[in-house]
Amino acid sequence: MSEVKTVRVVIEGRVQGVWYRGWTIEQAAARGLAGWVRNRADGSVEAVFHGPAVTVDDMVAACRHGPTAAAVSRVTIEPSADAVGHGFHQRPTQ
């Protein structure tokens, strides 16, 4: 059985108004990950990914590029204890 992990990721750069959240939902769902994504008032995007460690790592690597119109300058990753439930969804801006 593969290791499961949950991480919280904050993506900075030109990541709002470029379909970053929609892209994240598509990418995470395609990988079978649970969690959520939201815009933050400071202009960054925050997400929590939960699933097999190798798949979570692959999603985090994809976040370093994001959708075509994005310009990611930094991705911060930390372990998370968030209860994510099932599926991947968008949360309101915080």
21 part of the active site: yes
Q: Report strand pairing: 71-79 vs 4-14.
A: antiparallel
Q: Catalogue the E-assigned strands of the chain.
A: 4-14, 34-39, 45-52, 71-79, 88-90
- Which one from 14, 21, 31, 74 is the annotated catalytic residue? 21
- Which one from 39, 40, 64, 74 is the annotated catalytic residue? 39
91 part of the active site: no
Catalytic residue set: 21, 39
